[in-house]
A and B are shown apart, each in its own frame.
Chain A
């Protein structure tokens, strides 16, 4: 009954959220993508069902699938980082009710296990099983195989929850899944494929309806669920007591910015915003990680062609801006009333943000120096992408400052709520990346490599040096819409 109540509350929380109306586009997009991926999975199931039989005539297709179970689980684990959050039901309202804390947490964990996402891979497995398993094991085999697979997904769900909760707490916990999957890969490659042999056996036991195999998975899921609960209890007390960052050893003051007046003060504020709040810190770290990864990709042969180079080059310069600036003003929504009570502070804030993220493109530029020296990309290409980012791409993304009116929490917590982006933000992100790709490739076709990069550079320089004008324009438009924005920020706090 409590599970039913909590589910009802979650649905009502989403439906009655002040941004529900504004996110209708987002909802439609999500449903569309769900249908798309479901269809895609069914397609894969059918293709694998017939394809494995042709590619591996000496083995049953389900053996091949079962050998790859760990790959599927690893892919699922990564997917969950994009789609699944840790149980962020607002626990606080329930804590003082006559419900045992452990029961509440158990219900939350049960809720995550019965999440429909855990059944998503069945769109692939069920058609696959119909094609490959019914031959020897009939419909019963399909049912038991699907059930076993579903239980594996629940196990994976708890494994993901545990890793995600720990990583949210401290980023260095990312070493746990890295070591785990690294170890499995090493064992698989060096000791005669023990991992895939094991999963092949487990899969076969599922098909045969072996009770011990189901029990084993259930025990594993229960164990991980228990670990999750222990971590959640510990975090819950820490959050209630707000002990997480009450003791700061060193307060960074960034004194060198004092000489730059009000804009310098907002530049300093931006630095503090980034490094003192969980949400912005995680996003910033992700951006830096992606920049390093993307630079590394330039060393690989896969990105030697002009298309690959421009993809990685543009993305490398733009990614931090796209990640952070699509939320422009949304973090400030937490204290916008205070900012609005001071003259032109929003204008100086926007200028400071622009300078900050313009300086930030130095990082990918420096990381690209070895790639430039090795001749993989030219200096002209790097400079043109750099200024195109600070010019055109930021010009596009900064427009969101006028329209963003949903507060993004600064510090996500186990007992807090989370927010998702709007459809308009997704569109701007796509445009910020897609339009430059389109432009550079069209220019390349029309004018060749060097002229296209010079044109790219010219566009970037023009918008960079006129930034004060378009930022002022954005500020004026923001002020015209200020009441609507302030209302939106207040409602979504």
Chain B
């Protein structure tokens, strides 16, 4: 179970305010899609929640734990923002086992969990005898996403997970995320530029502009699609 509460969270880079969110709650079990134009503040928002950036003001609370003051939330959180998360001189298997060990998983348990992602990996990730640095951008993305999910986190944060993925893989990861939410009740935050995928997966969508959440859309029966298309002027 994971609830996120945002309390007057602000982040300034020089004169520019990149994130400015007064009060916002992401409830336990929500699948929240974060959309916005480039530079809207999506990645910065995620980094603030994950304590990878120091907030200029305010705080983010994960299960009432201030993420900047305690590390306890890390035990039940999984995240993948970008390649900077990957230890690229390991093979994917080594990396998965390493992550698994950090969360107390044995090799056999990791192997078992990896079977869920077999279609997603499409025979291109495991058993290649290659270091992560030598994989394509798409396969690195897959490795990152899997590593974030392997320990069945209660809170999952993925920044633009559909980037670099081929259409089949995009479709597969959508199903994986939906199934994961249904099976575990985990709270999932994803950001994306792909409105179709976002409205497909996320019952709740937050629209970010200049660091502020300007709309919090209830996506009942994909109703958010028209509203988002109007905002982004997509015909």
Q: Which residues of A contact B (CB under 8 A)?
A: 242, 245-249, 251, 253, 262, 265, 269, 272-273, 276-277, 334-338, 340-345, 410-411, 483, 486-487, 490, 493
Number of A-B contacts (CB under 8 A): 75
Instruction: Show 5 A/B contacts (Cβ-Cβ < 8 Å), sorted by A.
Output: A251-B94, A265-B102, A335-B86, A343-B72, A490-B84
Closest residue to A336 on the B side, CB-wise?
Answer: B84
In the docked arrangement, what's the CA distance between A370 and B177, Å?
A: 63
Q: A248-B130, A265-B98, A483-B53 are in contact. Are A341 and B87 (CB under 8 A)?
A: no
User: Which of chain A's residues have a CB closer than 8 A to the CB of B90?
Assistant: 269, 272
In the complex, whether B164 has a CB less than 8 A from a CB of chain A is no
Interface of B: prevailing SS: loop
- B99 smallest CB distance to A (angstroms): 8
B87 touches A247 (CB 8 A): no
In the complex, whether B88 has a CB less than 8 A from a CB of chain A is yes
- CB contacts under 8 Å to A, within B196-217, are none
13 new A-B contacts at CB < 8 Å, known A247-B129, A269-B90, A490-B84: A242-B133, A242-B134, A246-B130, A247-B130, A251-B91, A265-B98, A335-B86, A338-B84, A340-B51, A341-B50, A342-B74, A411-B133, A486-B52
Q: A344-B71, A483-B54 are in contact. Are A334 and B84 (CB under 8 A)?
A: yes
User: Which of chain A's residues have a CB closer than 8 A to the CB of B103?
Assistant: 342
In the complex, the 5 A-B pairs of residues with the closest C-beta atoms, listed nearest first? A338-B85, A483-B54, A343-B74, A276-B89, A343-B71
B89 touches A272 (CB 8 A): yes
In the docked arrangement, what's the CA distance between A340 and B74, Å?
A: 9
B87 touches A269 (CB 8 A): yes
A342 touches B52 (CB 8 A): no
Closest residue to A345 on the B side, CB-wise?
Answer: B102
A335 touches B87 (CB 8 A): yes
In the complex, whether B180 has a CB less than 8 A from a CB of chain A is no
Q: Residues 83-126 of chain B: 1 if any A CB is under 8 Å from the residue's CB, otherwise 0?
A: 01111111100100010011100000000000000000000000
B134 touches A262 (CB 8 A): no
User: Which of chain A's residues have a CB closer than 8 A to the CB of B85?
Assistant: 335, 337-338, 341
Interface size class of B (residues with CB under 8 A): 20 to 34
User: Which of chain B's residues have a CB closer than 8 A to the CB of A336?
Assistant: 84
Q: Which residues of B contact A (CB under 8 A)?
A: 50-54, 71-72, 74-75, 77, 79, 81-82, 84-91, 94, 98, 101-103, 129-131, 133-134
Q: A248-B129, A265-B102, A338-B84 are in contact. Are A277 and B89 (CB under 8 A)?
A: yes
Interface centre among A247, A265, A335, A410 (most CB of B within 10 A): A335
User: Which of chain B's residues have a CB closer than 8 A to the CB of A411?
Assistant: 133
Closest residue to A342 on the B side, CB-wise?
Answer: B102
In the docked arrangement, what's the CA distance between A242 and B136, Å?
A: 11
- A465 smallest CB distance to B (angstroms): 27
User: Which of chain A's residues have a CB closer than 8 A to the CB of B51?
Assistant: 340
In the docked arrangement, what's the CA distance between A487 and B71, Å?
A: 19
- B97 smallest CB distance to A (angstroms): 9
In the docked arrangement, what's the CA distance between A104 and B232, Å?
A: 43
User: Which of chain A's residues have a CB closer than 8 A to the CB of B84?
Assistant: 334-338, 490, 493
User: Which of chain A's residues have a CB closer than 8 A to the CB of B131?
Assistant: 245, 248, 276
Q: A276-B89, A335-B85 are in contact. Are A343 and B75 (CB under 8 A)?
A: yes
